[in-house]
Amino acid sequence: MKDQTTINSFNSIKTRDLVETGLLIAMVFVSTMFINIRLPISINGGLIHLGNVALFLSAMLFGKNKGAIAGAFGMGLFDILSGWAIWAPFTFVVRGIMGYIIGSISHSKNNSADSLYLNILAIIAGGIWMVAGYYLTEVILYGNLISPITSIPGNITQLVFGSVALFILPALKKIVNAHSA
């Protein structure tokens, strides 16, 4: 009987993880797709969206693995469905690693995203990766080392807007912790 209980518990945990991860992907996608402002800057334009808030919260609330998956699939799917398909493979990698970095740092030292200092550090480190990753992406796509520099201010602006997650995080942590028992 004990073995069956263990199997049922394991299956319910896997099911819960699958549902949570799917919802996080959807949250990142919807926040990117429908809550955005197109910027008339750089060679390819630019976009400020609330997908970063959703990505940051996913990584800080649920950890590096779910943060990576939510960022990679949520924003990658956005690129595919919004006319930026050539960017999708790069976004998948850049945003996946970004979510992993943020989740890793915010959950380091058994912290569970409770330290404002570590959460800020996580966003900064993830942001540095994002800016560098998209710079390299543009170098590859456009074959030019100079013009991708014009996208850096827009990417930094995205990070600043995404930092709103730091103010929302404490309230959401209470809700998530209350329902995760």
Q: What pLDDT, on a 0 to 100 scale, did the predictor assign at position 48?
A: 82
pLDDT band at 143 (very low <50, low <70, confident <90, very high): very high
- For residue 42, the model assigns a pLDDT of 61
Residues contacting 102, CB < 8 A, separation 6+: 55, 56, 59, 60, 64, 67, 122, 123, 125, 126
In this model, does residue 1 exceed pLDDT 60? no
Q: What is the pLDDT of residues 58-79, one digit of tens each?
A: 999 999 999 999 999 999 999 9
- DSSP assignment, residue 82? T
List residues bridging with 38 in a β-sheet. 47
**The pLDDT of residue 168 is above 90:** yes
pLDDT tens digits for range 110-122: 878 889 999 999 9
DSSP state of 143: -
φ, ψ for residue 76, nearest 5 deg: -65, -45
Domains of the chain are 2-179 (1.10.1760.20)
What are the residues facing 48 on neighbouring strands? Answer: 37
Task: Name the more confident of 83 and 27.
Answer: 27
Query: Which residues contact residue 120 at a Cβ distance below 8 angstroms, ignoring those fewer than 6 apart?
Result: 166
- Percent with pLDDT over 90 in the chain: 71
38: part of which helix (H) or strand (E)?
strand 36-38
pLDDT at 109: 83
Q: What's the Cα-to-Cα distance from 114 to each of 97, 101, 105, 107, 118, rounded to whole Å?
A: 21, 16, 11, 8, 8
Between 5 and 18, name the one with better pLDDT.
18
Long-range contacts (CB closer than 8 Å, 24 or more residues apart) made by 37-42: 39/154, 39/157, 41/150, 41/151, 41/153, 41/154, 42/147, 42/148, 42/150, 42/151, 42/154
Three-class SS state of 163: coil
